[in-house]
Amino acid sequence: MTKARARYLGYALLLAAGVLAPLVIYPVFLMNALCFALFACAFNLLLGYTGLLSFGHAAFFGTAAYVTGYTAKVMGLSTGLAILAGTAAAVLLGIVFGGLSIRRQGIYFAMITLALAQLIFFFYLQAPFTGGEDGLQGIPRGKLFWVINLENDRILYYVVFAIFLFGFLLIHRTIHSPFGQVMKAIRENEPRAVSLGYDVNKYKLMAFVLSAGLAGLAGATNAIVFTFVTLTDVDWHTSGDVVLMTLLGGMGSIFGPVVGAFSIVTLESKLSDKVGSLVTVIIGAIFCVCVLLFRRGIVGEIQGLYRRVVGNRV
């Protein structure tokens, strides 16, 4: 079996697993995990492929969630349009945030995105339309294209799965495009990319906006799944969670964030009723272990192991 064929077989198996999963596993849990997987993939586009560590991605996730919730519930937009409106809001916010934060590099970039996200957090805390501490409750799931009834968890699952696939394939396409190559060049050596004549800031901004938009798509979808949005969605803990998912799964690999997101979402749902408030401690400890012991993440380590084994045989 050739390598390419093995890869296609692998993809087909994963796709089949995605289609069959809701028959075995609780669909709402799966949908939540898929939304966070898309969120983490979008984040990875920035950290793993462009080398920019954003500590404020919850702002895009949460903004899209609030806009989707508000347009669907109060303005009565149909579900599809509401998700689009949420995503568009995240893109606009991404242009503003990106334009500001790419003015500084490295550690400053991380601090600026964190501070901007906190600004957004306080805005939503006080703004009348978000419901403040109570959150935005009772968002209708509605019907997609006026026909498909999303109240049914199974049906909604396939819609969410399709949205995830769309986002995932878009990211896959992006990183294998010439644009993606320039992103990686910036990650590896920014001055060199500049000297080759690339307008580095333009590329960084484009990557940032794309990442923000997809993070928004994930947040918008998550709002429809849970039918409520709370301040947790824009909190800096959520920004930290998505960093951890990417780090744990393996940054700079396309499947890494998916693996990371499923691991963390599973962990949080299994642990929260057992250890309660100690979840944060465990999340923090995983962070430290990842940074100290395996910076390549789960997928990166497996790939490394595989290469070593195959390399030895040859």
Stretch that binds other proteins, among 16-24, 104-112, 134-142, 146-154 (CB under 8 A): 104-112
4/288 with CB nearer other proteins: 288
Stretch that binds other proteins, among 83-91, 255-263, 285-293, 304-312 (CB under 8 A): 285-293
Question: Which of 2, 126, 195, 312 touches other proteins (CB under 8 A)?
Answer: 126
| Residue 134, C-beta contacts closer than 8 angstroms, at least 6 positions apart | 230
Specify burial of residue 68 (Cβ count, 10 A radius: 0-12, 13-18, 19+).
buried
Tokens read off for 141:
């799931």
Binding to other proteins, residues 227-256 (CB under 8 A): 236, 240, 243-244, 247
Tokens read off for 265:
């979402």
Residue 279 in contact with other proteins, rule: CB under 8 A: yes
Residue 167 in contact with other proteins, rule: CB under 8 A: no
Residue 189 in contact with other proteins, rule: CB under 8 A: no
| Residue 5, C-beta contacts closer than 8 angstroms, at least 6 positions apart | none
CB of 298 to other proteins, least distance (A): 16
115/165 with CB nearer other proteins: 115
17/119 with CB nearer other proteins: 119
CB of 304 to other proteins, least distance (A): 16
CB of 154 to other proteins, least distance (A): 36
293/309 with CB nearer other proteins: 293
User: What whole-number distance in Å separates Cα of residue 152 and Cα of residue 137?
Assistant: 19
Size of site (CB under 8 A) for other proteins: 40
Stretch that binds other proteins, among 34-42, 167-175, 281-289, 296-304 (CB under 8 A): 281-289
Binding to other proteins, residues 4-43 (CB under 8 A): none
100/169 with CB nearer other proteins: 100
CB of 133 to other proteins, least distance (A): 14
Tokens read off for 61:
């996730």
Q: Which residues bind other proteins (CB under 8 A)?
A: 53, 100-101, 103-104, 106-108, 110-112, 114-116, 118-119, 122-123, 126, 236, 240, 243-244, 247, 276-281, 283-288, 290-292, 295
